[in-house]
Structure 1
Amino acid sequence: MPTDIVIAQTTTDTEHRAAELARGAVETRLAACAHIDAPLTAVYRWKGAVETATEWRISFKTTRTRLPALTAWVARHHTYDVPEWIVLPAEPGSPAYLTWITEETTPQ
């Protein structure tokens, strides 16, 4: 059964920046929560060269309704020229958890 809940992901170059993005999105109720994954190794092509970097992935839990505002907020606060932004549906999921996400992302 489709839900209104999505998981939006980005990566950044330091644990501190990841924490700032996660905290800011939750403080502004654009995400109910955000998980920061331990450092990962990214291998990618950039400006014609294959690069390797250490990054931290942030997974934001939010609603489709709040997604456009979260997308704009992350774009404004991200330091990358082209930040990763991938959105995945959260289905199926625990009804109680999905309800909590909706409640926590509802503007007060």
Structure 2
Amino acid sequence: MTADTMQDEFLLVMTTCPTKDSATELAKALVEAKIAACIQISAPVTSIYSWEDEISEESEFALHIKCMAKNYPALENKVKQLHPYQVPELIAVSLTNGLPAYFDWIKETTTP
């Protein structure tokens, strides 16, 4: 598999959740639905952001979601449905290089 054939085929999607329980619930729902192959949940991180004209500082759990690009619309819908935030962070980055066997595993794991 070359970088050309992988481009835009695989994504790393990032979001955050306010609690470990909400992060775990979201991760399990995405993997069980075969929308994502693997989701890593971080230890708490500190997020500083502006919301409704105020600077906020919160502890959150970061999720790194590995999936197929074709599954992004379903992933976005599921996150909006289950996420406790009014406007959740949802950022996707195309993966253009990586271990071909890992990309094969993502493809196999997210195909119903």
Tell me the TM-score normalized by structure 2: 0.93
Quote how far apart the aligned CAs of 1:59 are. 1.0
- For structure 1, the 5+ residue unaligned runs are none
Quote how far apart the aligned CAs of 1:90 are. 1.6
1:88 aligned residue (76, 87, 93): 93
| Ranges of 4+ aligned residues in structure 1 off by more than 2 Å | none
Q: How many residues are matched?
A: 107
Alpha-carbon distance in 2 for matches of 1:102, 1:85: 21
2:72 aligned residue (46, 67, 70): 67
Residue 33 (1) aligns with residue 64 (2): no
Identity %: 37
Residue 60 of structure 2: aligned partner: 55
Amino acid in structure 1 at the alignment position of 2:18: D
- SS of 1:41's equivalent in the other structure is strand
Tell me the TM-score normalized by structure 1: 0.96
- For structure 2, the 5+ residue unaligned runs are none
